[in-house]
Copies of this chain bind each other. A is one copy, B any other.
């Protein structure tokens, strides 16, 4: 069965390009150390004004969303120590990303918010309430990036044993089952009657108690009345076979981080196939790729900014970050060693993107140090607005991706330059919206659908048909 949403063919020529500003509540992300650049405001990551300014800048520039990454542990694999990553301000310290969203939502009207939350560690009943609350407060502009956690340091912080990769996803399936029950099954549409005349807020006959057993046992009514999207728009970044199957089942948007277009194209095909395998339309998953964009009015000026990024990028911090991601201490390697010499059984997707899926280039340890922690695995473009637009369009048309997560560099200048220089040129070329679409996150990204999960999504199977009220109350 093909749902309405899939009539939007994401492979059409001239499709509009989607963009997220890729952030995290931390001084610096994959380009560790850039917080120290004199033009960076990243030291204010712990101030409300930082986030409300960011949100306003993004909305002025018609950016689709702020995508907030998160990590509960610290990258402490490099030299068996967290020292390098601490000095570099690389994803540590890190605040709770959900807390910025209400303030950013109050400062904007259409900008959307994707936020990472870990299904291995957050109690589902509490997380379901938190997302419903955010979906109410943002009027449907919130999205959950489902992650299962990969860092042993996070498991130690939570006082639990790390779970094996594939098993994490099996557990996550159980978790999603409870979340859908709470979001989709507990309250019928219209159960919050809010009837002043009859003085009835909620019709109890149309609110149903959820009962699950096992790992995620729960016996409760969902504590929130239905929010605009019910289930928040769902992101996933699973890149392994199992992760891709999870994304094909649950995700409405997927996020990846690859540098080679052929590789990207194969991953896009993988997501589309996974969606079809899960009984969904091939285009029911929007795919975003991470990209570092350095743009200026002229290529020479852009190259100058790039040189500043490289100068301020923290070599030890970058190696520490990558060591953490792949679970291998890169200090054991020489700076001229190609990354393909590194053996790891964690985060194979990151290593693949740097090695055999890197278009034949060779990434060496020194490239990581002198560039960013994800050097060679993330797409990258430097140039004039015209050059950048050419490359972005080439990415979208050549790979089937739908848009980009714009990697944070020297901010707020980086995002502002993108919105002032790149967005207008993309608009001129008919490849970028000129206004936000109305409605929720889900409706903005899938304009032919409604605010709720589409009919071919697993979560919609949890919904009550709502024909006869009162039958199965409580």
Give the B-binding residues of A (Cβ under 8 A).
25, 27-28, 33, 35-36, 38, 43, 46-48, 52, 72-74, 81-83, 86-89, 92-96, 98-103, 105-107, 121-123, 125-126, 129-130, 132-134, 136-139, 153, 156-159, 192, 194, 196, 199-204, 207, 212, 216-221, 223-225, 227, 312, 314, 474
**Given A46-B225, A137-B48, A157-B218, A204–B87 Cβ distance below 8 Å?**
yes
Q: Which residue of the partner chain, among B43, B122, B130, B139, contacts A99 with CB atoms under 8 Å?
A: B130
Q: Which residues from B are CB-within-8-Å of A48?
A: 102, 105-106, 137-138
* Separation of A137 and B103 alpha carbons in the complex (Å): 10
A-B contact pairs, 14 of them (CB 8 A): A28-B201, A38-B196, A46-B227, A72-B125, A74-B223, A82-B204, A88-B201, A95-B136, A98-B130, A99-B101, A106-B107, A123-B158, A125-B159, A158-B218
Please name the residue on chain B nearest to A99 by beta carbon.
B133
* Separation of A197 and B137 alpha carbons in the complex (Å): 41
Please name the residue on chain B nearest to A138 by beta carbon.
B48
* Separation of A275 and B158 alpha carbons in the complex (Å): 32
* Separation of A254 and B98 alpha carbons in the complex (Å): 28
Q: Which residues from B are CB-within-8-Å of A94?
A: 223-224
Contact B123 A82 (CB under 8 A): no
Contact A25 B82 (CB under 8 A): no
Q: Which residues from B are CB-within-8-Å of A200?
A: 87
Please name the residue on chain B nearest to A473 by beta carbon.
B83
Besides A82-B221, A88-B199, 7 more A-B contacts (Cβ < 8 Å) are A36-B201, A48-B102, A52-B106, A72-B126, A94-B224, A100-B137, A102-B102
* Separation of A107 and B101 alpha carbons in the complex (Å): 14
Contact B43 A194 (CB under 8 A): yes
Contact B199 A314 (CB under 8 A): yes
* Separation of A202 and B100 alpha carbons in the complex (Å): 22
* Separation of A139 and B104 alpha carbons in the complex (Å): 17
Q: Which residues from B are CB-within-8-Å of A106?
A: 48, 52, 103, 106-107
Closest 8 A/B residue pairs (Cβ): A89-B201, A159-B217, A157-B220, A46-B136, A95-B133, A86-B202, A83-B204, A102-B103
**Given A122-B126, A199-B36, A199-B314, A156–B220 Cβ distance below 8 Å?**
yes
